[in-house]
Structure 1
Amino acid sequence: MASKQAVHMKHGQGETSYARNSSFQAPEDLTRNRIPAFDIDEHARREMLPMVREAYEQQFRKDFKLFLELRAKELVSGGRMVISLVGTRSDVIASKFSLFPGIVAQILSVMVAEGVIDKAKFDSFYVPLHGPSIEEVREIIKEEGSFLIKEMRVHDPTAEMNIALSSPSKFVNNLIALFEPIIVQHFGEVMDEFVRAAELHWSLDVDGSLREERVRTSRAMLVVSLTKA
């Protein structure tokens, strides 16, 4: 009884279950128009980048509003919730994409060239990852209206990162931890080939630019404390 009074939550099942109301959404505008999130051709990729960015931003806005709406149905008035998500530092002009989806796309494009995965499947692969700024998150929360913001913080996970600590195994393990379920769901059991291609991708980074980019990335952790209005 004490724990129920402290948490103030309803059952997150049925209509109030975010898991049942959401799936990998990679963005509707892109899937509808059959626009790949990452084109193997660099010129085409640069031309489409503004459209891809906008599509991902709008999809995140839609999904995050749904998340807040469903969580609000589980909480009584005054109930509190803390959200932690990967975002983008406000002081960096960036694409709002994490470094990792681009790397994954490059690795998968090699697998396409080798005939390991189908080109059509690659073109329809949209990684459901958008890195919002703290201002963007604040705007969406206020727009949705179910919660009051108590506190917001930005943590830079690369602030004390040492480039020398990077290694092929850490690089590949990071990719596997983040993307294996999505890759397997879309392409099937191709992780052995993916690991091999990822290790090759790392070994070809002879000038260390990839390792340095991991440190310079605009990625940040956003933490938001909310109270139901």
Structure 2
Amino acid sequence: MLRQSNEHVVVTGITPGSFYERLYTSDSLHLVCSSNSLHWLSKAPEDLFRNLIPAYDMDKDARRQRHRLVLEAYAKQFRKDFTNFLKLRAKELVSKGRMVVSLVVRRSDVTATKFSYLSRTISQILSVMVSEGVIDKEKFDSFYVPVYEPSSKEVRETIEEEGSFSIKEMQVHDPTTDMNNALSTPSKFVNLLRALCEPILVQHFGDVMYEFVSAAERHWSLEGNLLGPYAMLAISLAKA
């Protein structure tokens, strides 16, 4: 129990569960912080999964033809998930409560011309494993990396359309230099991929991490640093 005091008391908490579901009771929070999370989708893009369209086709011509369709499906899923996140947090925050959010975004506000660097890199490594007979192509075609890097414009528009929050401040930070150092060796690169993706890879493909690590190290030796043109967006929001 909290002792009686005339001083302000701060109670912090971390609750297990998906941030795309309700986590707290209504009107119970004064401040919510979401750090480096919301570029992860709740699930594979519904349009692709329902129509059995691979996110990354091994055939370059097929991949080029489907490219816009795939990107639009990812963008649609992001808007749906982010809108749901905003609605749920608005219910949990008190009147005039605040929320601080950071997530990975593209540097450009134009329609994405490439997959996120993480999705592209994972898919390229897995396609090599398919060619080597380590994993089945049908399994590969049904695998979707649940990551989307929106533009800051997409984020702003979604917040404004949902309507529960007013934007107090938005800042873009370029972490490229720090990340270049962090991914400067094959082992650092592979450790990052394992930390981010091992659970979803094992769930979908089974125990293939030894082969995945080997293929990832070879991929790094050929491609070098695989960091894409992304940035971190930080947003300060107030409940409207």
TM-score, normalising length from structure 1? 0.84
Is 1:225 the counterpart of 2:228 in the alignment? no
Q: Percent identity?
A: 63
Could you list the per-position Cα deviations for residues 124-147 of structure 1 after superposition, in whole angstroms to 9, with x for gaps in the alignment?
111111111111101000111111
Is 1:147 the counterpart of 2:154 in the alignment? no
**Partner residue, 1:175:** 193
CA RMSD of aligned residues (A): 2.8
For the residue of structure 1 that corresponds to 2:96, the secondary structure is coil
State the alpha-carbon separation in 1 of the partners of residues 48 and 66 from structure 2. Answer: 10
Is the CA contact (8 Å cut-off) linking 1:65 and 1:144 kept in structure 2? yes
Is the CA contact (8 Å cut-off) linking 1:94 and 1:218 kept in structure 2? no
Is the CA contact (8 Å cut-off) linking 2:41 and 2:81 kept in structure 1? no
**Partner residue, 1:3:** 10
**Partner residue, 2:62:** 44
How far the C-alpha of 1:160 sits from its partner, in A, is 5.9
* Match of residue 192, structure 1, among 210, 213, 219: 210
- AA in 2 matched with 1:16: R
Is the CA contact (8 Å cut-off) linking 1:96 and 1:131 kept in structure 2? no
**Cα 1:114–1:161 shift into 2, 3 Å:** closer
**Partner residue, 2:49:** 31
The 5 A counterparts of 1:109-188 are 109-159=127-177, 166-188=184-206
TM-score, normalising length from structure 2? 0.80
How far the C-alpha of 1:110 sits from its partner, in A, is 1.2
State the alpha-carbon separation in 1 of the partners of residues 108 and 180 from structure 2. Answer: 23
Structure 2 unaligned residues grouped into runs of 5+: 3-8, 25-39
**Cα 1:121–1:17 shift into 2, 3 Å:** farther
State the alpha-carbon separation in 2 of the partners of residues 166 and 179 from structure 1. Answer: 19
Is the CA contact (8 Å cut-off) linking 1:148 and 1:227 kept in structure 2? yes
How far the C-alpha of 1:161 sits from its partner, in A, is 5.9
For the residue of structure 2 that corresponds to 1:108, the secondary structure is helix
How far the C-alpha of 1:118 sits from its partner, in A, is 1.8
**Cα 1:93–1:161 shift into 2, 3 Å:** farther
Is the CA contact (8 Å cut-off) linking 2:41 and 2:77 kept in structure 1? no
**Partner residue, 2:105:** 87
- AA in 2 matched with 1:158: T
State the alpha-carbon separation in 1 of the partners of residues 17 and 94 from structure 2. Answer: 16
Query: Going by fraction, where is strand more abundant, 1 or 2?
Result: 2
State the alpha-carbon separation in 1 of the partners of residues 149 and 41 from structure 2. Answer: 18
How far the C-alpha of 1:12 sits from its partner, in A, is 8.8
